[in-house]
């Protein structure tokens, strides 16, 4: 009606933040106005003389709404998961490194890396993690990176170079956290645990 047009009804729905599909049923000559409402966020529009197709339009709009809800839920769960991981990352007593699976660059490191290995985070991040390996004895950084990037979980004990030049015995676990694709390299999640005390006890 002139007193309550489709545009006014749509504005009311928008103002109320109602999570319902808005479908415009228009008469002759009002298709451009209906199309404009769709551009603003309405679900669809259908002509009054084609109401036989209204059912399928409504079903499609409801399905689209459920898809959006599922995507929002997934995004929310992902954000919470990332927050939980970040908290664990920051407070972990083990060294945690994010490694570029293609070239071995350290993408991120937690504060425990500085405590256990002596390198400032600014020195670790952006450099190659091969600096941490004893170059005289295998396994080497490339060996571990290649094995983990192949999809397996690598678990081994090795001696890693401290910033002061000594070598620290550590258990290493490396897994492929995120596979690469045509646009970006994959990422490895590497965990190092100092086992000096355990070896001394043994």
Mean pLDDT of the chain: 85
pLDDT at 176: 92
The fraction of the chain above a pLDDT of 90, given in percent, is 39
**Range 36-47 average pLDDT:** 79
Place of tokens 């966020």: 41
pLDDT at 197 over 90: no
End-to-end CA distance of the chain: 87
Please report the sign of the dihedral spanned by the C-alpha atoms of residue 86, residue 92, residue 94, residue 95.
Answer: positive
Burial class (CB in 10 A: 0-12, 13-18, 19+), 165: exposed
pLDDT at 2: 55
pLDDT at 36: 80
Sheet strands (E) in 48-152: 95-100, 106-109
> Would you list the DSSP string of 122-184?
HHHTTSBGGGGB-TTSSSPHHHHHHHHHTTPPEEEEEEEE-TTS-EEEEEEEEEEEE---SSS
Selected residue with higher pLDDT from 196 and 181: 196
pLDDT at 38 over 90: no
- Tally of CB atoms within 10 A around 202: 6
pTM of the model: 0.63
Q: For 158-192, how does the pLDDT look when each residue is reduced to its tens digit (9 = 90+)?
A: 999 999 999 999 999 999 987 877 667 889 999 99
């Amino acid at each position: 009606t002139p007193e309550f047009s489709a545009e006014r009804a749509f504005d009311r729905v928008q103002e109320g933040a109602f999570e319902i599909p808005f479908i415009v049923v228009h008469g002759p000559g009002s298709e451009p106005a209906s199309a404009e409402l769709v551009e603003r966020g309405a679900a669809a529009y259908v002509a009054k003389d084609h109401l036989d197709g209204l059912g399928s339009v409504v079903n499609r709009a409801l399905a689209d709404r459920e898809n959006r809800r599922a995507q929002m839920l997934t995004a929310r769960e992902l954000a919470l998961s990332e927050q939980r991981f970040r908290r664990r990352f920051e407070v972990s007593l083990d060294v945690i490194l994010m490694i570029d699976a293609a070239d071995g660059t350290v993408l991120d490191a937690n504060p425990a890396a500085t405590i256990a290995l002596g390198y400032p985070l600014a020195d670790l991040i952006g450099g190659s993690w091969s600096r941490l390996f004893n170059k005289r004895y295998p396994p080497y950084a490339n060996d571990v990176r290649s094995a983990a990037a192949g999809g397996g979980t690598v678990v081994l004990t090795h001696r890693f170079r401290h910033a002061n030049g000594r070598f620290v015995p550590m258990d290493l676990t490396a897994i492929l956290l995120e596979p690469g694709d045509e646009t970006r390299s994959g990422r490895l999640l590497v965990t190092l645990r100092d086992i000096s005390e355990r070896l001394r006890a043994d």
